[in-house]
């Protein structure tokens, strides 16, 4: 006589939020104002393991392991995508990379970032790129101090300091976020063909959920990713000074 089947453990409800940057973290978007002369795909082709896809005048390259990472992590985390690209570009890229799998519960774009101004009303620029504004992504303002509309998320589940983790390749954009709420990711470019960051990140996130600890507690005891900006850094103090002037603190 066959033994009775073991009871199936019910899936634990998702209570954590993973906020993912787009360009440099999940994909590389290369500006291409004219029709590319290199092989490419169209978004409707839904090809994820071939040539880049041409979307909104950009060639979009997918980081190795992206689709598998998203499918795996969404079993345990609510996914938010937050890019400093315009909403039009962000939504188009997100629609492509999430096609056929669970979409993000929230998509944020450039209009959710903060632009800073100097006392003479000039836009604060990136130190390494004077043509581009130095945007800030502030979790408190975008997620914690308000109740954004979250697709598919139960009403009693919302992002907090205890359950939110940002992954971004810009330490500068996250300078006002608590250091135990974000990971600085190595910027991905198409030359890094053997990149395994998403594989390692996926393992780390599953270990975090399995620990039962809050996000901040786990990160404090298990650091991951690249170096964050710290108070002894000149750029940190420069950005915080601008943030104070712009009343973002």
**197 in any annotated domain:** yes
pTM: 0.93
Which two three-digit tokens encode residue 231? Answer: 């108070």
**57 in any annotated domain:** no
**10 in any annotated domain:** no
Alpha-carbon gap, residue 173 to 193, rounded angstroms: 26
Provide the 3-class DSSP secondary structure of residue 227.
Answer: coil
Residue 182 pairs with which residues in a beta bridge?
166
Cα Rg of the chain, angstroms: 19
**11 in any annotated domain:** no
pLDDT number for residue 8 = 45
**89 in any annotated domain:** yes
Q: Supply the range of the domain harboring residue 79.
A: 16-26+62-245
Residue 163 pairs with which residues in a beta bridge?
none
Alpha-carbon gap, residue 171 to 21, rounded angstroms: 12
**4 in any annotated domain:** no
Under 8 Å between Cβ of 29 and 187: no
Alpha-carbon gap, residue 42 to 47, rounded angstroms: 8
pLDDT number for residue 38 = 84
Task: Report the domain count for the chain.
Answer: 1
Which two three-digit tokens encode residue 131? Answer: 């043509």
Q: Which CATH number does the domain housing residue 119 bear?
A: 3.40.50.1000
**1 in any annotated domain:** no
Each residue's pLDDT, cut to its tens digit, for the chain (249 residues) gives 556 555 544 457 899 999 999 999 999 999 987 878 888 998 988 888 889 999 999 999 999 999 999 999 999 999 999 999 999 999 999 999 999 999 999 999 999 999 999 999 999 999 888 889 999 999 999 999 999 999 999 999 999 999 999 999 999 999 999 999 999 999 999 999 999 999 999 999 999 999 999 999 999 999 999 999 999 999 999 999 999 999 999
Under 8 Å between Cβ of 240 and 249: yes
**86 in any annotated domain:** yes
Tokens 């690249």, residue located: 226
205 backbone dihedrals φ, ψ, rounded to 5°: -65, -40
Comparing C-alpha atoms, which of 3, 147, 174, 13 is closest to residue 78? 13
């Amino acid at each position: 006589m066959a033994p009775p089947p073991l009871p199936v453990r019910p899936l634990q409800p998702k209570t954590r939020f993973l906020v993912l940057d787009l360009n440099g973290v999940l994909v590389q978007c290369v500006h291409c104002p004219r029709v590319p002369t290199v092989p490419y795909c169209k978004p409707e082709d839904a090809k994820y393991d071939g040539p880049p896809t041409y979307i909104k005048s950009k060639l979009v390259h997918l980081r190795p392991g992206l689709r598998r990472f998203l499918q795996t992590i969404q079993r345990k985390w609510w996914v938010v995508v937050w890019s400093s690209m315009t909403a039009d570009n962000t939504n188009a890229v997100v629609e492509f990379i999430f096609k056929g799998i669970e979409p993000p519960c929230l998509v944020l774009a450039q209009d959710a970032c903060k632009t800073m101004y100097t006392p003479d009303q000039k836009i604060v620029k990136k130190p390494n790129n004077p043509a581009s504004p130095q945007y800030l992504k502030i979790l408190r303002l975008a997620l914690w101090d308000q109740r954004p509309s979250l697709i598919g998320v139960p009403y009693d589940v919302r992002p907090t300091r205890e359950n939110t983790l940002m992954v971004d390749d810009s330490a500068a954009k996250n300078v006002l976020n608590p250091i135990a709420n974000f990971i600085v990711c190595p910027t991905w470019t198409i030359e890094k063909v053997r990149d395994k960051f998403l594989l390692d990140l996926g393992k780390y996130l599953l270990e975090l959920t399995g620990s039962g600890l809050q996000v901040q507690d786990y990160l404090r005891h298990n650091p991951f990713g690249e170096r964050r900006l710290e108070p002894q850094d000149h750029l940190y103090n420069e950005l915080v000074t601008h943030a104070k002037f712009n009343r973002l603190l």
